[in-house]
Amino acid sequence: MTIIELLQVNLLSPMVLAFALGIIATLVRSDLKLPDELYTTLSIYLLLAIGLKGGVALAETSLAVFWAPALATLFLGLIIPVFAYSVARKIGKMTIADAAALAAHYGSVSAVTFAAAQTFLDAVGIRYEGFMPALVAILEVPAIVIALFIAQVAGGPQGGDWREALRELITSKSILLLVGGMIIGWLTGPRGGKEVAPLFVDLFKGALTFFLLELGMVAARRFRDLPSAGLFLLGFGIIMPILNGLLGVWFGSLAGLSVGGSTILGVLAASASYIAAPAAVRIALPQANPGFYLTASLGITFPFNLAIGLPLYYTLALWIVGGQ
C-alpha cells in the first residue's frame, strides 16, 4: 500500500473519525459531553484490556524472544527524556521545570495511541508480536523518573514532594491496571484469555471509539492554548515524535521485532503520556506550566500521531525492517 492509501485507511477508521467528531463538537460549541463516570470507566477498561492481552501473550512467549525487545524499550525510556530535555532547554530556552515536565511526558507512553496503533495494523493486515502490551508497561515509568531526576540534579529541589510524586506514579491507575492486568493474563494464560475475550477483546474497538470521541473534545479544548505556547512548542510536538518514532522503529529492528512490532515500538517511542506523567509532574514540579506540557502532548502530538503518525511509522518500519 502507498502512503496515501495508508493515510486513507487510517483517517477513515471509526476511531479517528470519532476523535475528529469530538474536535468538531467542541469547536462548534455543541452540548455533547460524555458523563465523567463513563470516561473513567472506559479508561479503566482500556488499560486493563491492554494489560490482560499482553499477559496472555507473555504466557506463551519465551524469555529468549522477549528479552531483547524489553531491553530496547527500557533503553528508549532512558535516552528519550534526556534528549527531549536537552532540546527544550537549549533550543526552546525553557526553564528547568518546564523542560523536565516535557521530557517526562515525551519519554513516557500513551496507552490509547498504542491501542490505536494495534487497530491500524489490524486494518491493514499486518501482524505483530503479542507481547507488545508488556512493552507499554516497561516504558511508562522509567522515563518519568529519569525526567524528574534530571530536574533534581540540574536545578536542585524544585519545590515539589518527590517521594509523594513517586508514590503517585507507582500507584496510579494506569500503572496498576497495565501491570496488574498483565500479571492476571500471564497467570491465567490462554485459558483465562478465552474466558474474558467476549468483554476484553470483542468489545475493545467499540470502547476505544467512545474514548477517542471524548479525547477529541479534550484535545480541542487545548487548542486555545496554542497561540500562547509559541512556535517552538508546535514544532516540538510534531518533530519530536517523528524523531522518537524513527528511533523506536530502529531499536525494534535491532531487537528482532517484525515490521508490525517495530511499528508499534516506534509508536510507543513517539507517543506522549497524558495520564501518568501529568499526575507525577503536578506533584514533583508544581511550577511547571501545564499550558506547555498538556498542550504539547494532548493538543499537538496526540492528534498528529493519530492522524498521520501511525501510517508514517509503519512506512518507516517497512523501509528499515522490510529492507533488511
3-state secondary structure 25-47: HHHCCCCCCCCHHHHHHHHHHHH
What CA–CA distances, in Å, run from 215 to 25, 226, 274? Answer: 11, 17, 11
Can you give the pLDDT at residue 88? 94
- Which DSSP category does 224 fall into? G
Contact 139, 173 (CB under 8 A): no
* Positions of the chain with pLDDT under 50: none
Taking residue 75's Cβ as centre, other Cβ atoms within 10 Å add up to 15
pTM listed for this prediction: 0.89
Q: Which amino acid is at 91?
A: I
Which has the closest alpha carbon to 278: 147, 138, 89, 94?
147
Q: 31: buried, middle or exposed (CB in 10 Å: 19+, 13-18, 0-12)?
A: exposed
Q: Closest Cα partner for 147 from 107, 176, 180?
A: 107
* Spatial CA neighbour of 257 closest among 310, 204, 314: 314
pLDDT digits (tens, 9 = 90+) for 179-218: 899 999 999 999 999 999 999 989 999 999 999 999 889 8
Maximum pairwise Cα distance, the chain: 54
Retrieve residue 136's grid coordinates: 507499554
pLDDT on residue 54: 87
Q: Residue 279: its pLDDT value, please?
A: 77
- Residue 76's pLDDT is what? 95
Neighbours of 29 (CB within 10 A): 7
Q: Per this entry, what is the length of the chain?
A: 324
- What does the domain layout of the chain look like in residue ranges? 1-9+34-321
**Candidate CATH numbers 3.60.21.10, 1.20.1530.20, 2.30.30.100, 3.30.1330.90; the one for domain 1-9+34-321:** 1.20.1530.20
| Residue 158 pLDDT | 52
Quick one: pLDDT at residue 113? 94
Give residue 89's pLDDT. Answer: 93
Q: CB–CB of 242/103 below 8 Å?
A: no
